[in-house]
Amino acid sequence: MKLSIITVNRNNQDGLRRTLESVLSQTRTTDYEQIVIDGASDRGDVEVLKELSGRFEERAIPFTYVSEPDSGIYNAMNKGIRMAKGEYCLFLNSGDALYDDRVVEDVLAFGLDADYVCGNEWCEKSQWLGAHAFCSPEKLRASDVILRTLPHQASFIKKDLFERLHYYDESYRAVSDYLFAMEALVVRGATYKHIQRYIASCEMEGLTVQPKNVAMVNEENRMGRESVIPFFDEDYQELTSSRDERRSEHYKLMQKIGRSKWFALFVKLRQFMIRTGWYARTAKWKLRRYFHQLQKKDARKKREVARLIQSLPKDMLKRNGDASDVIVSLTSYGKRVTDAVPYAVYSLFQQSELPNRIVLFLDERKWNEGNIPSLLKRLQQSGLEIVYGEDVRSYTKLLPALKLFPDNPIITVDDDLYYDKEVVALLKREYEHSDKKTPIALHGNIAVRRNGKYVPYSEWPDCAYGDETCDYSLYGVHGAIYPPHIFDEEVFNKEVFLKLAPYADDIWFWIQEKRLGIKTKVLRSFNSHRNVSVNRIEEMDFSQTGTLFFQNVVSGRNDEQLEKLLNHYQM
């Protein structure tokens, strides 16, 4: 057995249930076990253990628990280590949870092959601390362990390491795991490996984060350092005192300023200016001025691009007329047809490797050859194709192309970006080296499941925090390539998507990919900032523009649309 998940609990029914549910929801059910060390709880925790033990048995996940008095958290952890049958131990205490449903599967796929294998943890908001990420370092330094420590709930520790060194020191109340990591990694030369993956979502209500325990924790830290690294302790004191001294000097200066008559007068003046609204009016003026400057810069660039469009060569794109043609597909609507899409299309003609065809789909009820902008007519001479048809909102970017070019790979882009010149080449190269069944994008986010359910879309993290084993939902905005023949006819079911998710085409395509078991990939090496907005005012001032991004992401509409689709497809 590779892994033992050890949970210490006492009188925390809700937290215990949350922790065990996160283990029960894992996609993998082999090569790990769950151990619970309960400290003789008297509030019904044992009943929770008995209730959930049957579910562990149904899933064939080995489950062991004991409920008896202990002398503290480290005594309980040591009990769990002794009971563990796995090669590695993960300490996931009651109230904490595995970050999503694929943690065990992904971690075992990465390979547990060092004494300490550490990922990242998400620290939830508490009454003392705000929500934040706690990430283990990619390359370990002594200061990472001594001055800071490692995320304990995201650390897979080899059981053999406890047997080679010693178990947790039970004489401490709060810092034994910190001292053990310091001794193992800094003094004894234990091996370390980093995995770029969130492992746990942790409550921040424990002993060490409570303000009333700061003095006790600091004293335990001091005693522990003197025991584990006595020759380093003076260096530690010097480093921390130097840091504190810098803070102290700043504090003394601020106190001195704060006692002066001039500062008191300044405070009164500032309060008066706040009451009269001077700061608010100034901020609005500065914002308007900034937006005006932004619009002027964008307009200058558009004039330059319009001039360059007129000088483009004719017939720049070379069609093969067969399945080898790579199609770039996009759509546009409203005023964007005039003030955005011609400039985005121009950037597609500047690619280091040109596609075979660039096809713009427009609403046939509003646009025709007689009223399209003159810049688009000029781009047609260079090879742009315009297809007039049914408008299905943002879905028009891909769905008509799937029907019109069923045998070709299709790259989708948005209508409001100047695209980096390597976008098409990157996507084509990745596609050629793929299995030709995997959609690939330059950006996306990670679909997260907890306790068997997907969390709201607003909680899906950016792709930068994932790895290639993640369940990616692709963003079409920065460029994505779709192989032919991967979707079935359900992808065209407009009665469903226009009713349940009329503004969430990316989520709709992700749902169809999940339904059909299609894997996805994100090229994390690409910096999406290389693509620049044609109209940056829309990017900066969401409240004025009413963009899809503002409505879907900022206003939470994506959460509603995702929930409706998941319920419809019973996912």
Q: If you write DSSP's letter for every residue of 59-92 in order, what string do you get?
A: TT--EEEEE---SSHHHHHHHHHHH--SSEEEE-
Token representation of residue 287: 């914002």
With a CB cutoff of 8 Å and minimum separation 6, the contacts of 296 are none
Q: Which CATH class is domain 312-568?
A: alpha beta
User: Average pLDDT per run of 10 along the chain, which is 571 residues long?
Assistant: 96 94 93 96 92 94 95 95 97 93 90 94 79 88 84 96 95 92 93 92 74 78 82 73 63 68 80 82 83 90 96 96 96 94 97 97 96 97 97 95 97 96 96 95 89 85 73 91 97 96 94 95 85 80 46 67 95 91
Per-domain boundaries in the chain: 3-228, 312-568
List 330's β-bridge partners, or say none.
360
Within 74-204, strands assigned E span: 88-91, 97-98, 116-123, 132-135, 155-158, 192-202
Tell me the sheet residues that pair with 328.
Answer: 358, 411
Same fold, 3-228 and 312-568: yes
Measured CA to CA, the distance from residue 382 to residue 310 in angstroms comes to: 10
The rounded distance, in Å, linking the Cα atoms of 571 and 561 is 14
DSSP result, 393-462: GGGGGTHHHHHH-TTS-EEE--SSEE--TTHHHHHHHHHHTS-SS--EES-EEE--EETTEEPPGGGPPB
How many Cα atoms sit within 13 Å of 158 on the Cβ side?
18
Alpha carbon distance 112, 522 (integer Å) = 24
Provide the pLDDT for residue 545: 43
- This prediction has a pTM of 0.69
Residue type, 223: M
Helix (H) or strand (E) holding 37: strand 32-38
Q: Are 519 and 468 in contact (CB under 8 A)?
A: no
Q: How far apart are CA 406 and CA 409, in angstroms?
A: 8
**28 — phi, psi (to 5°)?**
-100, 140
CB 506 within 8 A of CB 412: no
268-287 burial, b if ≥16 CB within 10 A, otherwise e?
A: eeeeeeeeeeeeeeeeeeee
- The CATH number of 3-228, from 3.90.550.10, 3.20.80.10, 2.60.40.10, 3.50.30.40, is 3.90.550.10
Instruction: Measure the CA angle with vertex 226, ends 222 and 232; round to 5°.
Output: 100
Nearest-angstrom CA–CA distance, 273 and 279: 7
User: Residue 543 has what pLDDT?
Assistant: 46
- The radius of gyration of the chain's CA atoms, rounded to the nearest angstrom, is 29
